[in-house]
Structure 1
Amino acid sequence: MSQQVQEESLQLSGTLFDGDKRTDVGSLAELMDELQTSTGFGYLEIQDPDRLQLAELADRLGAHDLVHPPASASAGHMPMVAGEHVRLSTHRVQLEEPTFQLVVADLHIYVLPRLLILDHDGGFDFEPLRARLATEKRHRDQGVGWLLWIVLDQLLGEAGAALNALDDELDDIEDILLAPGAKPAVIQNRVYQLRKSASRLRRCLLPLRDAVDALLRREADCVSQGLFPLFQGLYDRGVHHVEWADSLRDLVTALSDTQIAMEGNRLNVIMKKVTSWAAIIAVPAAVTGFYGQNLPYPGFNTMGGLWMSTLLMVVGCGGLYLTFRRKDWL
């Protein structure tokens, strides 16, 4: 009775492939019956199971040492490849626009001889993956390894889309940064968010790259000779994506440093202009202060004194203005 309760509480769905025939299944018992009565293979999606449910599932499948994921892919993403059994923990990523915040969800993958299990939290749309599994026919005869290749390729495609969106946003920020009238606070907030997303995306790509590397190095049974070049291509893409994320982080850092340098230069120019104008304004203040004293001086209380003071202010201010302009201080 407990076994039936556990199975009914699991939110699962799957598909069985037998040649060109596809059969959708909605329960573990149905999938097990199909696998026992055919020579096909299939995949099973489990949405956010707890440890007890996973233990029950492992008992039904006879894979006690396989189906027990870490708390998250980041906490323990070391893959396990032992012949016909494979356990991989990785991430799905999606970049939200216009905030460019990176949404991350854990994805645990279990590979058995004729079954691939996807354990996810339901936070991402799996329809694109299901549609690809329904239409992709190349290498379908390779069995479970074909399913694993499609899943990993889909994950790399999602990461590539996020990297491309970050790259385009950085190009836009470069144009805005050099445009007149740019608002430093707005640019700084966007650069900070991009740096955070790029760093997090790189951390998410590392488990995926390591997973493909482990499949190639440890010679998993599901990676046949016909699929080996495809998995090698996945590894190359994973390495490229990690390097791309590194370059984006460096570019974001360079943009931040450029912005700081430009703000410093702008502040220096402003201070230089303010100081120059203060020096020019000091001339009339000095002249009027001299002629405003209560002691007799040349031209005291005469029209000549007025013209003399006016001439001194014009000559002094004009001379300083021309000097500062020549030195590019104004």
Structure 2
Amino acid sequence: MPLIRSLRSAARRVQRRPRRVDLSHPARSPLGSAVVNCVVYRDGVRQLGDCTPDEAVRKIRRSGGFVWMGLYEPTQEEFAGITELFGLHPLAVEDSVHAHQRPKVERYDGTLFTVLKTVAYVTHERLTTTSEIVSTGEIMVFTGPDFVITVRHGGHSSLGPMREELEGRPDHLALGPMAVLHAIVDHVVDQYLDVTDSVQDDVDAVEIEVFSPTGTRGTDAGRIYQLKRELLELKRAVSPLVRPLQLLVERAYEPVDPEIRRYFRDVGDHLSKANEQINAFDELLNSILQANIAQVTVAQNEDMRKITAWAAIIAVPTLISGIYGMNFDHMPELHWLYGYPIVVAVMVTACLLIHRGFRRNGWL
């Protein structure tokens, strides 16, 4: 398992930018507008051919195994028959239909209802004040003794590749529906790690721009705020899942097999790593924002000092010329032969002395 996960993570790093897949297309939903597929598994092996939900329930109740049904953005009417067939709780069904739920794990009688936030990194050439960096969706999972129902919202995070990979491990799939739940959670958490790696590139780019000695003075603070907003979107998907995943490991939910708990513990470690990275990015962006504000303040102070210095220099000839511009009959030096050049020389000398003083103090 670690080898497979490492190879999968390496492949995702090479192809980091997720490709949007529209599963609402009829060709991807042969069983209806919402049901993407409905497959029966027995002893970890996929039984040939898709079937309707009614047929799947009859098969597993007669011969054992479990059914895995995938739905894409179903309506309340489309979910009505499935709710009655599998005995799902109305509150959980309402949450799965309307989406926009907080990540959580809840138990309704013998069924676990899990809400997961999916994330995808949105490619962009350059970070702007309106750049979308993180795109989110949702996956709801109903896990019962003999069924798994996944409800997906959003245009990314297709479960098809994950299902194919899981079907290549029949020994793990034979552990039952909770093994499917683990695979889905593991898939989503791996996406968290991939997205945090991509977001780190944006954080590093902003950090370099702010602190580079050759960079532009005063990076636009709006871009940093935008990055913080997108990071908050990622944090809302990751952080709330930490506690529910701990409950799955700490025997709070009895249907979880002890063997599966070990796998959930490994996923919990990865989730903690992603959560710690996001918190570190948030703290770093706070420091970058404060440094940027400090740079802008220093630059403004420097500009004000230059303006003040030049104003002081110009004040000397202004003062002298203003005095000699007064209309008095009896003023000294008005009738001297060298009065005018002497006054000009005095003004130039005073300006040069003041300029030299400001240069020495670093104001110019």
What's the TM-score once normalised by structure 2's chain length? 0.77
For 1:282-301, list aligned pairs within 5 A: 282-294=315-327, 295=329, 297-301=331-335
* Structure-2 residue corresponding to 1:268: 301
Greater Cα shift, 58-67 or 46-55? 58-67
Alpha-carbon offset, residue 144 of structure 1: 1.8
Q: Encode CA deviations 1:103-148: one digit per residue, 9 max, x unaligned.
A: 2222211101122110123522414433433445563332222211
Please say if residues 79 and 86 of structure 1, whose CA atoms lie closer than 8 Å, have aligned partners that are also in contact. Answer: yes
CA distance in 2: counterparts of 1:211 and 1:43, whole angstroms: 22
Distance 1:9 1:289 in 2: 87
Task: Note if contact 2:101-2:115 (Cα within 8 Å) is conserved in structure 1.
Answer: no
Residues 111 and 212 from structure 1, CA distance in 2 versus in 1: closer, same or farther, beyond 3 angstroms? Answer: same
- In structure 1, the residue matched to 2:343 is 309
Is the CA contact 2:40–2:65 (under 8 Å) kept in the aligned structure 1? yes
Structure-2 separation of matches of 1:43 and 1:183? 57
Specify which of 311, 316, 321 is matched with residue 355 of structure 2.
Answer: 321
Q: CA deviation at 1:101?
A: 3.6
Partner of 1:223: 256
Shift of residue 269 of structure 1? 0.9
Question: Which residue in the other structure is 2:17 paired with?
Answer: none
- Normalised TM-score (structure 1): 0.84
AA at the equivalent of 1:174: E
Residues 193-251 of structure 1: per-residue CA shift (max 9 Å, x gap) = 11111122212223422331222234545532222222112222223323332222222
Aligned letter for 1:216? Answer: V
> Which residue of the other structure, out of 278, 281, 286, is the alignment partner of 1:253?
286
Q: Which amino acid aligns with 2:351?
A: C
In 1, distance between residues paired with 2:89 and 2:182?
A: 24
Whether 2:119 is the aligned partner of 1:85: answer no
Give how far 1:280 is off: 0.7
Whole-Å Cα distance in 2 between the matches of residues 285 and 249 of structure 1?
Answer: 53
Query: 8 Å contact 1:149–1:231 — kept in the other structure?
Result: yes
Partner of 2:150: 118
1:162-201 equivalences in 2 (<5 Å): 162-179=195-212, 180=214, 182=216, 184=218, 187-201=220-234
Counterpart in 2 of 1:17? 41
CA RMSD of aligned residues (A): 2.9
Aligned to 2:139: 107
Correspondence for 1:235: 268
- State the alpha-carbon separation in 2 of the partners of residues 38 and 183 from structure 1: 71
C-alpha displacement at 1:66, in angstroms? 8.2
Name the amino acid aligned to 1:120. R
Which residue of structure 1 aligns with residue 73 of structure 2?
48
2:338 and 2:105 map into 1 onto residues whose CA distance is 96
Deviations 1:286-329 (A, max 9, x none): 23334445545554344522331232122211111111112211
Give the superposition deviation at 1:82. Answer: 6.1
Q: Is the 8 A contact 1:79 1:210 kept in 2?
A: no
Q: Is the Cα contact below 8 Å between 1:272 and 1:329 reproduced in 2?
A: yes
Separation (CA, whole Å) in 2 of partners of 1:214 and 1:55 = 30
Shift of 1:57: 0.9
Q: 1:36 to 1:130 in 2, by over 3 A?
A: same
Matched letter for residue 49 of structure 1: P
Q: Write the deviation string for residues 260-294 of structure 1: whole angstroms up to 9, x where unpaired.
A: 22211111111111010110111222233344455
In structure 2, C-alpha distance between the alignment counterparts of 1:285 and 1:175, rounded to whole Å = 46
CA distance in 1, matches of 2:60, 2:85: 13
Residue 66 of structure 1 contacts residue 86 of structure 1 at CA under 8 Å; is this kept in 2?
Answer: no
The letter of the residue matching 1:215 is L
Please give the per-residue CA displacement for 1:156-199, whole angstroms capped at 9, x wherever unaligned: 11222222222221110011123456375x73222121111112
Counterpart residue type for residue 44 of structure 1: M
Unaligned runs of 5+ in 1: 1-6
Provide the secondary structure at the position in 2 that maps to 1:142: coil
Q: How many residues align?
A: 323
Give the partner amino acid of 1:43. Answer: W
Question: Does the 8 Å contact 1:69/1:89 carry over to 2?
Answer: no
Q: Residue 25 of structure 1: SS of its match in structure 2?
A: coil
Q: Which moved more, 1:57-66 or 1:280-289?
A: 57-66
Q: One-letter code of the match for 1:25? A: D
